[in-house]
């Protein structure tokens, strides 16, 4: 089997996670890395054990032997880099969001499809194997008609006004924060498992820290010591700390989710309950290896992630036996396995199981409509 | 200590629960019972071991030796019976809702206050002892500023279109079902623990069974055998099976709850999470003897209902030591203990801890505004 | 229906719990109370709203109109009081343990049976309604052959060496503490649900606080202030803080339980898992309204206490619908309901569902054998 | 940084898991693979994307450029292969158990130490990051004196008598099954976190399927179709399906664990509770990203695996932020990271944090003593 060569652009939190996940899959070589300048690129390449490195991503794109590019940079760079990668004839796996505005995402989607290149956005939550099983429960009619879907995505890493990160700056991250960063994962997951598109939204946003304190020097410098008042600058925050969005779906189902980055004790917790006319099902990502299935006329069920207990089509996403828990790092591995299978086949399905640029575009459209609804204090159609 | 004599009107599901709870408290005697006709009253009185019974509640009200009346009949009778009981000089404990429209509730509240009689509505959920503890956590500042409160109240007893009950008929139950029946418990609880009033609502309703099948004969007759199609009549349903309501609170907090009576596997599950600037706290009623407390900088906490672990003011609502779980029946006992203490003292506090007619009125106003919001598809101020 | 009159002897922690539970059942009157002296008896009678009270229990026993006596005094008094009550022709409900040595229990059992009086010991844990359901799962063959049963009963109320109580003194409580006080509940429950008798035991005991500090004055006096070193006396402790007991059952099943009163954070937690050849089942008393059912070939189940979801014979032990949790106080109510039904029928079944004196005797025999095993460090046959 | 070259022998369930874990760590190359014959080796090498493969592991050992060997074959081969690898001057990571008898393990330990080679046994459970945190809680005195440790390790993959695997055959697997296969993980974990050695054991074994049905042809052939009675042979089973072992520790602590491979619904569940004089702590491997901490005088805690919430020395074993769950595959990665750091340093610590051959020997000694105890029905000293 031919080894596919891949280049990764960006080595913050998520770039190395891509590298690690890719290496778990046989016959893929992470051949090159690009970062913001030569020195950063060299340091990270050594740390990660990657042969080639570039301070300018265009040099990476120029390499003929590289077939696939992973774009893992801050949000505002996704559009340009993905576009140039496609133009260089590379398959592209882009971090979410695909762009900062839907128009750019539309352009990327069209370009990728026109060039016949594999294109994917890293909505990895779909790849907790039980999510695939739920999708099949829905498809096979186990759930009956879907009535309602409600849930939340809660974090606490921006709990204090002294918590700071580039995601707080709209010019780097976009005009929405909670909905774009984490709400998009929730919506992508829900549309994926339910097979239903959202048709209307009604949103309520809140910013509990309208002023945050930005460290004046890079945060790494300060690690391990106390910051003093004069080390900070007060910055106005325009993006939301909290959002609740009510939803209508194409089949008549109703829903709602709450996203928050100021929920103490919730490190990164995705939750949903989907109520159907036959069963209900719920999942929380802090216990990712089990789902709850609700029944009216018999006991409820707790199904563990076990290859022998899920539908055959979901087995392929499980590498380890029941009770041998898998987690967050395994989702990217399973996602990349499907994407690279498509790369070997040279052709993207019309509706691939993995999230394509079309899904990345979808989330940008949803976010824009949700922002509009929040401003209008009214329902908005998609 | 003088024995207080009490009369109970109505002996469906909740009347006997009142009787049982009252008997657990020393020096209260359930002296009389009234029901829809003489025979029913006699049968139930024998079954419950109550000396006196009446087919006409007015006879019960006429008894001089009875100090307190509990109104446990279907919703549309609450207003008249409570009014007449007050006029007869009785203290009144009314089942929720206090009336079917807010105007009547207002009248009852005024009448009770003018007469100086103790008045209470059976919002018993407040009396899970840990709810009192959370209220004190908020009061003492443990939670900091409340940012958001989200949750749900889910049931499955009306899951099928063949599930039928008088609560489905607006003329007996009122124009709202999910919000009035169970949403009101959730809102009463949240305003009680948070100390914050709801100021705006934005609601989304759904009726998943617009037609339900009503048994043509009383359901008891059929118990244990299969109903045939000709045993049913199709009835149009106007009240909601599902509701999501977004909330704004007076202090700037945001919130949302989802109520549903068609959520398979959820028998009667109340859930909330309240996120504050210091801590978060959450509770689910299917595990009523513990609360979860979320922290950003240390482990989360699970606090068990234990007299030695709660604030002193909450201890009084706990009868049994930690690990000796209490449940639904204990809530009414604790609530009645507080109400009868007020009865002995002869005077209701301006803001009693137990839910008064004023709180019953509050819930009717909230329900009416929520109904209005649902029809207008817009935010409505309270 | 005739009202049955009952007298209760002893009003520490558990006596009032009996009174409260009895009052929840129609047509039973707690007519009299006895305690250690006139003043205590009078005070408690007023507090509990009981008409008659006696400083000498023999006066209570002398009352012709009292049919049933509940013995709720410290352990060393159970034998004498139960014996005199039986001799006075009363039905007897005795707190556990039935006596402090098996010989006395044997005598009481013979006396009660000879006199044809109803006799019961308050092993209330059986009366969590799902325990009855598990018993029926076993009887109907749902579980298959029972392979193994393992679990624990953990508390923390004797965690510190300054925690003191009469149960630490063998002359009042008996020669075993953890096994006799809480292990006996576990074993009674397991033999009840599994239908299997224990045939062999192998025990390992530990006393982590060989010296405890006994307050020199009654503890109530000190409440709310710090005890100083001179307020305590050092007392040697001979009974166990911890015990693990391996078990063999008559059908070849194996088992083990750990009991401890020094397990921080475990307020009163009973746990077991029973593994059969078809299913496994487990329960923990801190979440008493649900059981876990384990399956090899499909999802596991979580069955909620809901009258519509349990076997018909267990429905009678459930007073409230699913999701309306019941707890510790409800167990005594359900137990007394069954006992008083037998009292009305005037006759005890050969093997009643409620724990009889024969079961009380059984636990004393088991405890003695376990003590013997612990001393011999070897297996001992029952 | 120099790339270390590694060879893996054996490619059943666990060999590929080693390969995948190794590849996640930068600067390690899985350079060669050996299996039972040329064809198997070639097929697996292609599937796993490994350049070199050998039908005879001795050829792999002969390669000068390979520094480390992972022995992932069935148990009875571990001794010989590890010995030859050491003799060839390779560092060795051996699957558990290190050998089938303690004498051989002793020989291997001596040989590795004499040659100054890194040696490790794959007791990976230690590497759930919270286990390291618990170890530090103990070391820093947070727990106080350890009183007792109880728990279980339960599986259901050998639930039916038709479940068959080479681990059921003593000549391939050894004389103990449950204790050697899974009990050894539990004991290694407990001695690691508590810092206390087991000094005495008292065991009770059971074999619930004394006869099992062995498929007459390799099981793969049959996959997906029903086996008929004539496809099986009845085989006598001498090893245990179930074991309970009571334990004494050097500091006076008491303990017990139950192991079982016939517990329906338990896929692979490790559980323990450790009770100390200050706190208790418990963990279950099906929810590996959290531990429960029990307190007497305040709420209990649930600590999530989050780098910011654990002791600094445990942070290094966490790759992803709180809420981004890690699982079974991550344990091997973290373990190998520590082992390969030692390999780079060229020297094994006297008491390395990772499990060395000395720990592998320890488990064999414990298993042999437990087998002896089970046969004698008595306590045995280690």
Q: How confident is the model at residue D120 (pLDDT cuts 50, 70, 90)?
A: very high
Q: How confident is the model at residue B364 (pLDDT cuts 50, 70, 90)?
A: very high
pLDDT (tens digit per residue) in B195-216 = 999 999 999 999 999 999 998 8
B12-18: Cβ within 8 A, 24+ apart: B12/B72, B12/B73, B12/B74, B13/C321, B14/B72, B14/B95, B14/B122, B15/B44, B15/B70, B15/B72, B16/B44, B16/B48, B17/B329, B17/B332, B17/C320, B18/B70, B18/B72, B18/B93, B18/B122, B18/B332, B18/B336
- Measured in angstroms, the CA of B252 and the nearest CA of chain C are apart by 33
Tell me the Ramachandran region of residue B89: left when phi exceeds 0, alpha when psi lies from -120 to 50, beta otherwise: left
Nearest by CB to D150, from C152, C275, C292: name it.
Answer: C152
Interchain CB distance below 8 Å, D265 and C294: yes
pLDDT (tens digit per residue) in D252-303 = 999 999 999 999 999 999 999 999 999 999 999 999 999 999 999 999 999 9
Dihedrals phi, psi of D97, to nearest 5 degrees: -75, 155
CA–CA dist A2, A27 (Å, integer) = 7
Task: Give chain A positions within 8 Å (CB) of D285.
Answer: 323, 325
Task: Give chain C positions within 8 Å (CB) of A304.
Answer: 299-300
Q: How confident is the model at residue B186 (pLDDT cuts 50, 70, 90)?
A: very high
Please tell me the number of Cα atoms within 13 Å of D48 on its side-chain side.
32
**Cβ–Cβ contact A328 with C under 8 A:** no
Neighbours of C221 (CB within 10 A): 11
Contact predicate C172/C76, CB 8 Å: yes
Mutate which of C329, C332, C344 to test chain B, going by most B C-beta atoms within 10 A?
C329
pLDDT (tens digit per residue) in A274-331 = 999 999 999 999 999 999 999 999 999 999 999 999 999 999 999 999 999 999 999 9
Task: Give chain A positions within 8 Å (CB) of D17.
Answer: 320
Q: Which chains touch C (3 or more CB pairs under 8 A)?
A: A, B, D
Is D140 a residue whose pLDDT tops 90? yes
Q: How confident is the model at residue B42 (pLDDT cuts 50, 70, 90)?
A: very high
Is C224 a residue whose pLDDT tops 90? no
Beta C254-260 vs C146-155: how paired, if at all? parallel
CA–CA dist B9, B74 (Å, integer) = 10
Is B224 a residue whose pLDDT tops 60? no
Bridge partners, D292 (sequence order): D282, D302
Q: What is the pLDDT of residue C174?
A: 86
CA–CA dist A198, A186 (Å, integer) = 12
Percentage of residues in chain B having pLDDT higher than 90: 91
Please tell me the number of Cα atoms within 13 Å of A165 on its side-chain side.
15
The rounded Cα C154 to chain-centroid distance in angstroms is 15
Q: What is the pLDDT of residue C74?
A: 94
pLDDT (tens digit per residue) in A324-353 = 999 999 999 999 999 999 999 999 999 999
pLDDT (tens digit per residue) in D221-230 = 455 456 677 7
Interchain CB distance below 8 Å, A295 and B264: yes
Is B221 a residue whose pLDDT tops 90? no
Under DSSP, the state recorded for B101 is S
Is C10 a residue whose pLDDT tops 70? yes
Mean pLDDT, residues C170-179: 90
* Closest-CA residue to B324 (of C267, C312, D312, D113): C267
Task: Give chain B positions within 8 Å (CB) of C290.
Answer: 286
Interchain CB distance below 8 Å, D295 and C379: no
Nearest by CB to D377, from C255, C277, C379: name it.
Answer: C379
Tokens of D53: 């493969």
CA dihedral sign, ordered B216, B218, B221, B227? positive
Task: Give chain A positions within 8 Å (CB) of C292.
Answer: 302
Tell me the Ramachandran region of residue C323: left when phi exceeds 0, alpha when psi lies from -120 to 50, beta otherwise: left
Mean pLDDT, residues D123-130: 98
pLDDT (tens digit per residue) in B55-80 = 999 999 999 999 999 999 999 999 99
- The residue with tokens 């300060």 is A222
Task: Give chain C positions within 8 Å (CB) of A297.
Answer: 308-309
Under DSSP, the state recorded for A112 is H
Query: ipTM score of the complex?
Result: 0.95
Q: Is C382 exposed, middle or buried (0-12, 13-18, 19+ CB in 10 A)?
A: middle
Supply the angle between the helices A102-115 and A78-87 in degrees, to the nearest 10: 20
Q: How confident is the model at residue C181 (pLDDT cuts 50, 70, 90)?
A: very high
Spell out the residues 6+ positions from residue D162 whose beta carbon is closer than 8 angstroms to its own: D212, D213, D227, D232
Q: What is the pLDDT of residue C220?
A: 52
Task: Give chain C positions within 8 Å (CB) of D152.
Answer: 150, 273
CA–CA dist D306, B294 (Å, integer) = 14
Beta B211-215 vs B232-236: how paired, if at all? antiparallel
Q: What is the pLDDT of residue D226?
A: 60
Tokens of B368: 């009416």
Nearest by CB to C27, from B17, B24, B49: name it.
Answer: B49
Is D3 a residue whose pLDDT tops 60? yes
Contact predicate B325/B63, CB 8 Å: no
**Cβ–Cβ contact D159 with C under 8 A:** yes
pLDDT (tens digit per residue) in C22-62 = 999 999 999 999 999 999 999 999 999 999 999 999 999 99
Contact predicate C380/C201, CB 8 Å: yes
DSSP H or E stretch at residue A363: helix A357-376
Dihedrals phi, psi of C276, to nearest 5 degrees: -115, 180
Q: How confident is the model at residue D231 (pLDDT cuts 50, 70, 90)?
A: confident
DSSP H or E stretch at residue B233: strand B232-236
Contact predicate D261/D178, CB 8 Å: yes
Q: What is the pLDDT of residue B213?
A: 93
Under DSSP, the state recorded for A223 is T
Q: What is the mean pLDDT of chain C?
A: 95
Mean pLDDT, residues B179-201: 98
Mean pLDDT, residues C248-270: 98
Please give the interface size between C and D, counted as residue pairs whose CB atoms are below 8 Å apart.
Answer: 132
CA–CA dist A322, A325 (Å, integer) = 7
Is C296 a residue whose pLDDT tops 70? yes
Q: How confident is the model at residue A148 (pLDDT cuts 50, 70, 90)?
A: very high
Q: How many residues does chain C have?
A: 382
DSSP H or E stretch at residue C289: none
Is D153 a residue whose pLDDT tops 80? yes
* Alpha-carbon torsion, ordered C316, C319, C322, C323, to 10 deg: -150
Q: How confident is the model at residue B174 (pLDDT cuts 50, 70, 90)?
A: confident
* Closest-CA residue to A305 (of C300, D324, C302, D128): C300
Is A364 a residue whose pLDDT tops 80? yes
The residue among A268 and D174 whose pLDDT is bigger is A268
Q: What is the mean pLDDT of chain A?
A: 95
Q: What is the pLDDT of residue A226?
A: 60
Bridge partners, D68 (sequence order): D6, D91
DSSP H or E stretch at residue A32: strand A28-34
CA–CA dist C250, C248 (Å, integer) = 7
Q: What is the pLDDT of residue C218?
A: 65
Mean pLDDT, residues A59-80: 97
- The residue with tokens 């666990």 is D14
Mutate which of A265, A307, A322 to test chain D, going by most D C-beta atoms within 10 A?
A322
Nearest by CB to B147, from A242, A254, A294: name it.
Answer: A242
Q: What is the mean pLDDT of chain B?
A: 95
- Measured in angstroms, the CA of B27 and the nearest CA of chain C are apart by 5
pLDDT (tens digit per residue) in A205-257 = 999 999 999 988 765 545 545 667 778 899 999 999 999 999 999 999 999 99
Q: How confident is the model at residue B171 (pLDDT cuts 50, 70, 90)?
A: confident
Q: What is the pLDDT of residue D230?
A: 77
Percentage of residues in chain C having pLDDT higher than 90: 91
Q: What is the pLDDT of residue C229?
A: 72
Q: How confident is the model at residue C227 (pLDDT cuts 50, 70, 90)?
A: low
pLDDT (tens digit per residue) in A32-52 = 999 999 999 999 999 999 999
């Amino acid at each position: 089997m031919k080894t596919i060569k891949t280049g990764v652009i960006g080595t913050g939190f998520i770039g190395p996670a891509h590298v690690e996940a890719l290496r778990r899959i046989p016959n893929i070589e992470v051949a090159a890395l690009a970062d913001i300048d030569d020195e950063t690129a060299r340091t990270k390449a050594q740390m990660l054990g990657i042969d080639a490195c570039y301070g300018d991503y265009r040099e990476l794109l120029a390499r003929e032997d590289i077939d696939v590019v992973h774009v893992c940079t801050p949000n505002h760079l996704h559009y340009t880099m993905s576009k140039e990668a496609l133009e260089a004839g590379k398959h592209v796996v882009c971090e979410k969001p695909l762009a900062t505005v839907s128009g750019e995402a539309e352009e990327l989607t069209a370009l990728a499809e026109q060039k016949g290149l594999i294109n994917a956005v890293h909505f990895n939550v779909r790849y907790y194997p039980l999510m695939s099983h739920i999708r099949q429960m829905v498809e096979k009619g186990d759930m009956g008609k879907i009535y309602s879907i409600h849930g939340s995505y809660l974090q606490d890493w921006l709990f204090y006004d002294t918590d700071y990160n580039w995601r707080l700056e709209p010019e780097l991250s976009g005009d929405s924060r909670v909905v774009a960063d984490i709400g998009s994962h929730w919506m992508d997951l829900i549309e994926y498992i339910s097979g239903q598109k959202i048709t209307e939204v009604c949103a309520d946003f809140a910013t509990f820290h309208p002023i945050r304190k930005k460290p004046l020097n890079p945060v790494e410098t300060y690690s391990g010591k106390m910051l003093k008042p004069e080390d900070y600058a007060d910055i106005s925050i325009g993006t939301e700390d909290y959002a609740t969005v009510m939803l209508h779906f194409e089949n008549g189902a109703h829903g709602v989710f709450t996203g928050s980055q100021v929920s103490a004790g919730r490190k990164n917790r995705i939750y949903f309950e989907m109520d159907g006319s036959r069963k209900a099902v719920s999942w929380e990502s802090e216990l990712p290896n089990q789902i709850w299935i609700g029944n009216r006329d018999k006991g409820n069920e707790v199904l563990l992630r076990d290859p022998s207990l899920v539908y055959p089509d979901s087995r392929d996403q499980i590498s380890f036996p029941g009770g041998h828990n898998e987690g967050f790092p395994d989702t990217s591995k399973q996602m990349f396995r499907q994407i690279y299978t498509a790369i070997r086949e040279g052709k993207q399905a019309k509706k691939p199981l993995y999230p394509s640029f079309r899904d990345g575009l979808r989330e940008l459209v949803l976010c824009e409509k949700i922002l509009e609804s929040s401003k209008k204090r009214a329902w908005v159609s998609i």
